[in-house]
Structure 1
Amino acid sequence: MNILIVADPLELFKIYKDTTFSMMREAQRRGHKLAACVPQDLAWQRGRPVTAKVREIVLTGEKDAWFRVETLREVPLHEYDAVLMRKDPPFDAEYIYATHLLEQAEREGARVVNKPRSLRDHPEKLAIMEFAEHTTPTLVTRDAQAVRAFHAEHQDIILKPLDGMGGMGIFRVKADALNLGSIIETLNKDGAETIMVQRFVPDIVKGDKRVLVIDGKPVPYSLARIPQGTEVRGNLAAGGLGVAQPLTPEDLKIAEAIGPVLAKRGLLLVGLDVIGGSLTEINVTSPTCFQEITEQTGFDVPAMFIDALEKLVASGK
């Protein structure tokens, strides 16, 4: 296969843990060819297909100079067997514009993973609304009074922005309501921005588990991201400790209920965030944790993903 990866600049990758890098390494090991670009490299002009200025690369196996650029050229996206959209959040206007360009490339014959329309249709915080039976009590609102009423009912809550990543902007407010007003003002900017509020799940001390689902099938291990010290956030970017562990019956039930539904919508790779048996987020932009799970358990997550990608390409869908 010829594979194009649309991602953040390669120079910024932390290859010791980066999931996209692990995909690329497994693809090259199987003899597939790699190219990479950033969303800024995508372009469309009337009368021409969507193109990208790409770097065709080879992974060197070295720690620092880990890739070598073979050629630089402008290529129509439909010439690739697969285009992997692996740009990290934020899920901002530029991200959305990139999905529109990628969707146009699909109309021209490109195969894009994950499917651009489904990326837009499943914002990571709000996608849980469709699967409410698996979630903790949750409120999505701009209304400060609604947030106060939710706190009065549940006493211990988590507040977070809809466009955050890596644990950014997450606050916990306990029964004493300390700083609740200030936190609401900070997050929803006097009603200008919608926020999410969830009942605090005490099982966060056991970890915010990332459950990976590939082509509708769960990886048999999750990565429990365990908060450290006085931190309430388990996100690895916020200093959480990642511990791989077998899926629990509750994890498996959630993954088996949601995974096949999303796979039918062209979401080949999904990351479910589960705390204490409750679904808290559905990650579809660039789910991570491949390397941590593989290194700790021996289960080859990148191989499972490339197997699924090869199957998709071979199917001609």
Structure 2
Amino acid sequence: MKIAFLADPLSTFKIYKDSTFAMMREAARRGHAVYAFEQRDMVLEEGVVTAWVTRIHLTGEPDAWYRPEPAETVKLSEFDAVIERKDPPFDMEYVYGTYLLELAERQGARVFNRPSAIRDHNEKLSIGQFSQFTSPTLVSSNPAMLRAFHEKHGDVILKPLDGMGGAGIFRVRDDGMNLGSVIETLTDNGKRTIMAQKFIPAIVKGDKRVLVIDGKPVPFALARIPQGNEVRGNLAAGGIGVAQPLTERDREIAETLGPVLAERGLLLVGLDVIGDFLTEVNVTSPTCFQEITDQTGFDVAAMFIDAVEQQSRKAAQKES
């Protein structure tokens, strides 16, 4: 198979923990040809979507970890699979990228995750489709409604709808200290929609990343545990990742959402679960592959490449 990865610059990869690298390594181990390109490398010309792609060979070295061949322009439809692994921010450039990938799909490209599904699933707002699993939540730009939500629930989390890595998350306790300032800042004085959620005390045991691949849960989650006085468990915010078996509740959430999201074209999803509550549905570039594998021995990348191979075969059979 020829597999192309749409990712951030390869020079930015931290290969000891990067999930995209783990995918590439497993694909290469199986003998697949691995290619890489960035979002800016895509072009629509005369109705055809191409990209300036580079075939790479993994060296096994920690620093110069890949050897590139000369870049070439290739139709995205010529690949057996295109793996969308561009990290947020989910800005308009990201959206334009999904439009180009969607056009490429119409020309025969097999893109995972499906571009339209990525656009349709805001990673914060998507939990509203599964409210049976969420803590009390309000999405609004109205300062009065946000204040009333805090008054009702006392201890709340407020966060932007387009953040990543824990950026912009605030906790306001019962005393309401700095509530007005936080609301003004996050909503830009009522002009930007944000999310408020009742604080979940179980965060002290970790913000669990539950990976779901082709509708099926990985049997281990990575609990990202806040350190010190930090309320955020995100690894980017200093959290410590501890792999652990799924709880019954984790599995219930994953097995309920998994088939629904897979049917929509989301091959890989990262569910964030705190205690018994779903807090986010990550669809852009879910991570934690290597941390789970290193700590448990369960090969997450192998499960993912299995799914890519299976979906590519199914698509090829439909086309033949």
Mark yes or no: TM-score above 0.5.
yes
2:64 is paired with a residue whose SS is coil
Q: For residues 270 and 57 of structure 1, what CA distance do their matches in structure 2 show?
A: 26
Corresponding residue for residue 178 of structure 1: 177
Corresponding residue for residue 297 of structure 1: 296
Q: For residues 281 and 136 of structure 1, what CA distance do their matches in structure 2 show?
A: 11
Deviation at 1:71, TM superposition (A): 2.3
Runs of 4+ with >3 A deviation = none
Corresponding residue for residue 311 of structure 1: 310
Q: 1:97-116 counterparts in 2 under 5 A?
A: 97-116=96-115
Q: Is the 8 A contact 1:119 1:284 kept in 2?
A: yes
Corresponding residue for residue 159 of structure 2: 160
State the Cα deviation string for residues 128-171 of structure 1 (Å, max 9, x = none): 11001110110000000000000000000000001100000000
Q: CA RMSD in A?
A: 0.6
Q: Does 1:91 align with 2:90?
A: yes
State the Cα deviation string for residues 91-129 of structure 1 (Å, max 9, x = none): 110000000000000000000000000000001001111
Corresponding residue for residue 14 of structure 1: 14
2:70 is paired with a residue whose SS is strand
Question: Aligned partner of 1:11: which letter?
Answer: S
Corresponding residue for residue 45 of structure 2: 45
Unaligned runs of 5+ in 2: none
Deviation at 1:45, TM superposition (A): 1.5
2:221 is paired with a residue whose SS is strand
Q: For residues 226 and 201 of structure 2, what CA distance do their matches in structure 1 show?
A: 12
Q: Is the 8 A contact 1:136 1:279 kept in 2?
A: yes
Q: 1:1-317 counterparts in 2 under 5 A?
A: 1-46=1-46, 48-316=47-315
Q: For residues 159 and 207 of structure 2, what CA distance do their matches in structure 1 show?
A: 15
Q: For residues 71 and 127 of structure 1, what CA distance do their matches in structure 2 show?
A: 41
Unaligned runs of 5+ in 1: none
2:202 is paired with a residue whose SS is helix
Identity %: 66
1:44 is paired with a residue whose SS is strand
The TM-score normalised by the length of structure 1 is 0.99
Question: Aligned partner of 1:117: which letter?
Answer: S
Question: Aligned partner of 1:23: which letter?
Answer: M
How many residues are matched?
316
1:209 is paired with a residue whose SS is strand
Q: Is the 8 A contact 1:57 1:71 kept in 2?
A: no
Q: Is the 8 A contact 1:6 1:83 kept in 2?
A: yes
The TM-score normalised by the length of structure 2 is 0.98
